Amino acid sequence: MKHFSLCLLFFLFLSQIEGNAQVEAMKQSPVLFGDFTQGSVVQKNRMVTKVPLNYDCINQEMHFIQGGEQLILDNLDRIESVTVGDRRFIPHANHFLEVIAFSDYTLYIDWKTKIANRGKKGAMGQVTHGGTITQADVSLMRHEAPDFKDTNVYEVIPQNTYYLSVDGEKMKKFNTLKAFCKFFPQDKEASIREFVTAEKIDMQKPEHIYKLVRFISSQ
């Protein structure tokens, strides 16, 4: 796998990015999209490159296809945003956050996945439990998802972090309902908890986080 600076890519042109992400049906996996999806990379100098993209949730890297080769998006300090399909991402530290805009709120998802090897499946379907994945296993998985057709039994463990911004203010981190409720006055907290109970919201599921923020934005 090669790192490749976008400033060396050819055929750059200006483009307008439109559309917001919809994550209601999203499920946690080693890669964010089932396959490479056409997208656009907008640099801070307003130049745009259109390439097939996918996000590696294990290593938190944005991959793209150029000249038939899979590369890693580098020089994030030069990038303003990335759009994959109708979903938008912005650089954050050395990786990306997905950005989902509502009326008064903006949800940021820091996608992170851990893969655990739970053992091997025998001929009768029973699982012989094993240890955690070794460093060698992680290296092999670095640029492709595990082969789920083999006899190893893997578990996808989400380790996402979420942020919320209200009316364009500085984003605040949350991972639990308690932390989320601290962003709001007590009178609104009651309706949030009522919604969580009624809809059986699971704070470990990104599609449920999306539903929760959509609900609060409609209040």
| Residue 108's pLDDT band (cuts 50, 70, 90) | very high
**Res 13: pLDDT:** 27
166 and 154, same domain (yes or no): no
Domain boundary at 101, 126, 146, which?
Answer: 101
**Res 49: pLDDT:** 94
| 8 A C-beta contact, residue 127 and residue 119 | yes
Q: Of 49, 54, 21, 50, which Cα lies nearest the Cα of 37? A: 54
90 and 122, same domain (yes or no): no
Whether residue 124 is predicted with pLDDT greater than 90 in this model: the reply is no
**Res 120: pLDDT:** 65
6 and 96, same domain (yes or no): yes
The pLDDT of 117-138, averaged and rounded, is 48
pLDDT above 70 covers a percentage of the chain that reads: 71
| 8 A C-beta contact, residue 66 and residue 8 | no
Which residues does residue 31 pair with via DSSP β-bridges, in sequence order? 56
28 and 43, same domain (yes or no): yes
Higher pLDDT, 154 or 200: 200
| Residue 146's pLDDT band (cuts 50, 70, 90) | very low
97 and 8, same domain (yes or no): yes
Whether 194 maps to a domain, the answer reads yes
User: Could you report the per-residue pLDDT of 42-72, keeping only the tens digit for each?
Assistant: 999 999 999 999 999 999 999 999 888 999 9
User: Could you report the per-residue pLDDT of 193-218, keeping only the tens digit for each?
Assistant: 999 999 999 999 999 999 999 999 99
Higher pLDDT, 23 or 192: 192
Which residues does residue 72 pair with via DSSP β-bridges, in sequence order? 3, 63
Whether 28 maps to a domain, the answer reads yes
134 and 183, same domain (yes or no): no
46 and 66, same domain (yes or no): yes
150 and 169, same domain (yes or no): no
Rounded to a whole number, what is the distance in angstroms from the first to the last CA of the chain? 47
Whether 106 maps to a domain, the answer reads no
Q: What is the mean pLDDT of the chain?
A: 78
21 and 65, same domain (yes or no): yes
| Residue 117's pLDDT band (cuts 50, 70, 90) | confident
The pLDDT of 113-132, averaged and rounded, is 59
**Res 121: pLDDT:** 61
126 and 38, same domain (yes or no): no
* One-character DSSP codes across 41-105: EEETTS-EEEEEEEEETTTTEEEEEETTEEEEE--GGGEEEEEETTEEEEEETTEEEEEEE-SSE
**Res 118: pLDDT:** 66
Q: Which two tokens stand for residue 15?
A: 């483009």
- The amino acid sitting at 66 is Q
Domain boundary at 101, 121, 140, which?
Answer: 101
**Domains held by the chain: number:** 3
- Domain containing 151: what range? 113-158
29 and 92, same domain (yes or no): yes
| 8 A C-beta contact, residue 120 and residue 152 | yes
152 and 62, same domain (yes or no): no
Whether 94 maps to a domain, the answer reads yes
